[in-house]
Copies of this chain bind each other. A is one copy, B any other.
Amino acid sequence: MKPQDTSRTVSKSLHQRILSDIEGRILSGEWPPGHRVPFEYELTAAYGCSRMTVNKALTQLAKAGLIERRRKAGSVVTRPRSQSAVLQIHDIRTEVQELGLPYRFELTRRRKRKCNADDRERLGLRDAASVLELACRHFAGSDPFCLEERIINLSAVPEAEHEAFKDDAPGAWLVKRVPWSTAEHTIRAMGADEEIAKALAVAKGTACLVIERRTWSGEEPITLARLTYEGGSYALTARFTPNRN
């Protein structure tokens, strides 16, 4: 591996440049999950530095969860993690199954369109990028559990355009394919309007928990999802240990 162009990233320390280089290759998809990262001695040769320096970079990447390291076998790029690792939102299928209920979902809307001003503002899209607009209902047993409305940035995830979302719901499908680096959640309570009341089979005005999640890979926006849960049947848990290792 040759060091990437680092003309923009001057004045950083060497181990940080090595870290950024590798992180860039992983987030860009050049090194997909399962790809073997060069051994320490290979990086040592590539960057012309000592082993301690590349070790520092690789150790940090491992702590960040981007790679897994094993003696003798070397380091490999990790599969994209579910968001649950950070904010304990499980994949909805898992959530439902942990309640001991059978899970199914149905896709209720699926169309490709140019992004509008609202999308651009909320997801930070540029110009007239294409997005895939989806809606989906998740069921726990025979009851609607969650209403999902989502747009996917097709310039970031072009393969979504021809995906039928038969086996995996859009969220689960994305998590499997796209490594994300930043997620922002906005959470609020809202009385169900007519449309939501109908979709979730609750009375109009019922308190609902609304979670909007925006996800980026590096600087590139990936998806914007709005999940609406009936308030009484759902709570969100987030546990933090600030930055500790």
Contacts and interface: CB of A to CB of B under 8 A. Distances in A.
A243 B65 contact: yes
A85 B240 CA distance: 11
A193 to B, nearest CB: 11
Contacts of A229: 189
A243 B85 CA distance: 10
A11 interface: no
B64 A234 contact: no
B81 A242 contact: yes
A232 to B, nearest CB: 7
B185 A231 contact: no
Contacts of A19: 245
Contacts of A187: 187, 209, 235-238
Interface string A201-245: 000011111100000000000000000010110111111111111
What range describes how many residues of A lie at the interface?
35 or more
A181 interface: yes
A240 B182 contact: yes
A87 B240 contact: yes
A237 B86 contact: no
Interface in A21-61: 52, 60
Nearest to A64: B243
Interface string A82-119: 01011100000000000000000000000000000000
A229 B187 CA distance: 12
Given A241-B181, A245-B60, A236 B188 contact: yes
Interface of A: 19, 52, 60, 63-65, 81, 83, 85-87, 181-191, 205-210, 229, 231-232, 234-245
22 contacts: A52-B52, A63-B243, A64-B243, A65-B242, A85-B242, A86-B240, A86-B242, A87-B238, A182-B239, A183-B240, A184-B240, A186-B236, A187-B235, A187-B236, A188-B231, A188-B234, A189-B190, A189-B208, A191-B206, A205-B205, A206-B207, A209-B209
